[in-house]
Every structure is written in structure tokens, then in C-alpha cells.
Amino acid sequence: MAKHGFDIKKQTGFGTIAIACFILLYTPIFLLIIYSFNSGTSIAAWEGFSWRWYVSAWENEQVQDATVRSLVIAFWASAIATSVAVMAALATTRTPKFKGQTAAFAMINQPLMVPEIVTAVALLILFSVIKVATGYTGLLYLIIAHAAFCIPFAYLPIRARLQGMDLSLEQAAADLYASPFLVFRRVTLPQLWPGILAGAMLAFVISLDDVVITEFVKSAGQDTLPTYMLGQLRRVITPEINAISTVLLGISVFMVVAFTLLSKIRN
């Protein structure tokens, strides 16, 4: 008699629940996109199609400054996080098992397990002490904070890529007296680059969208695009916020799709 495994898709009501979840998840997003083209000032009453709020956001100097600042922070944070993630992934996959390896893995992924507000408060306290001691209040704090938070997001796809790679080429290069650095540069890195790019893009998106850590760490005049939008929502809500959100959504979707495609690239 044939044995049949459990299949969640065949359970009663699965389709209905799945459709309901998709509707609840995506209806607000579709409404946000639609009302970003509203010609009026209301975010609830449709008054006609217009590019007005996209033009308004494009010409808004505060939006321009916040956008540039967000991109700069996200670029450097993702670069730092990816560099650290590559070294951490190599240390946890290309070395013999060592005592405390599980603890090291947990520490690397700590930002994923600890509530973001806890990380934000801890960084606020640390950076406040440093600011008092040094007098420096620049963007470096935000870059470091974002990089620390983004490390596990870059680490996981890079580690997964390393674990899926065939070790025979690396072992052959080592047998031919190539140094560990030469093995990495000539053999490991060419195979690893899809994972590195995927991790970097994921870290970039996480940094670009971050609100909680940025809100706690930033100094005066250091608004990023998400914190600028949060500030506007506290004052007056216009479809300009919808337009900015739609653009951010488009960037995030593009990066996630690229991340998915890169993750599927094989040797």
C-alpha cells in the first residue's frame, strides 16, 4: 500500500486562508501605490490621476538631502557588513570545528534574535558616551550602527553559498602549494561572488529601510528617508508620503528580486 506524506496544500481551507492572507498583506500596498497618483491632497478620497506628488517629492530639498544621506549610509553599511560577513562565513565553514563555534554563530546572528529596540537603546548609550568623550557627531555612528545590524543579513546567504560549494577545487589548489589567500582569491572568491552580491544587496535594503535604530542613533539634521517620512506623518499626511513610499517599495522589490536570482546562480 502506497504511503502518502502530509501535504499542507491538501488540507481543508488552505486555499481560502492563503488567499485571505495575500489580500490582507497586499491590499494596503496596492492602495498606497494607487493613491500616490492622486491629484488631490487627500489620502482617502480619489480626485483624479496626477504625477503631482512625485514631482513635489523630487523637488523637495529635504527629501533630496534625506535620500542622499540614506543611500550613503546604506552603501557603506552594506560594504562593511558584507566584508565582515565574508570573513565570519569563512571562519565558520572553512575551518575545523572548534569549541564555541555554536556560540560564535549565535553571536553573529544576535541582531536577528534580539528585539531591534534593544539594539537601538544599547547603541544609543554606547555612542552617547563616545560623543561626550570625542565631540564627534557625524554620520559614522549611523554607518557603524547599520553595519552591525546588517551583518547577519549578509552572513546567511554567504554562508549558505559556501556550504553548497564543492571543496575539491580548493583542496586541489592547496595540494598544489597555493597559499590560503591565493586559494581564496583564485578559487573560492569566483564561486562565492553571487552569494556576496546577494548578501550585500540584502544588507543594503535592510539599511535603507531601517527606522528604529536610525531614530535612536541619529543626531540633529541627520534624517534618513524613513525617519523623514515618520516625521511628516506626525505633522500632516499628504500623498507625497505615498509617492516616496512607492519609490522605496520599487527599490526594495528590485533588490529582493535581484537577491533571489543571484542566490539561485550555481557554479
Q: What is the CATH number of the domain that holds 259?
A: 1.10.3720.10
Long-range pairs of 180-187 with CB within 8 A, sequence gap ≥ 24: 184/90
Q: How far is CA 122 from CA 46, 73, 217, 221, 246, in A?
A: 44, 20, 10, 22, 32
- The reply to whether 16 falls in a domain is no
- Angle CA 24–230–141, to nearest 5: 120
d(CA 162, CA 175): 20
* Cell 540584502 found at: 202
- The reply to whether 176 falls in a domain is yes
Low-confidence stretches of the chain (pLDDT < 50) are: 1-2, 267
The one-letter code for the residue type at 153 is F
- The reply to whether 165 falls in a domain is yes
Collect all residues with Cβ–Cβ distance below 8 Å to 114 and sequence separation of at least 6. Answer: none
Give CA 92 to chain center in angstroms. Answer: 22
Grid coordinates given for 247: 519609490
d(CA 243, CA 32): 8
Collect all residues with Cβ–Cβ distance below 8 Å to 131 and sequence separation of at least 6. Answer: 137, 141, 219
List, in sequence order, every beta strand (DSSP E) within 125-230.
none
pLDDT at 5: 66
pLDDT at 4: 60
Collect all residues with Cβ–Cβ distance below 8 Å to 238 and sequence separation of at least 6. Answer: 41, 43, 53, 232
- The reply to whether 62 falls in a domain is yes
What count of Cα atoms within 13 Å lies in the side-chain half-sphere of residue 266? 1
* Number of domains comprising the chain: 1
d(CA 210, CA 230): 11
- The reply to whether 212 falls in a domain is yes
Provide the residue range defining the domain that includes 226: 57-263
d(CA 123, CA 250): 30
- The reply to whether 2 falls in a domain is no
DSSP 176: T
- The reply to whether 155 falls in a domain is yes
- The reply to whether 7 falls in a domain is no
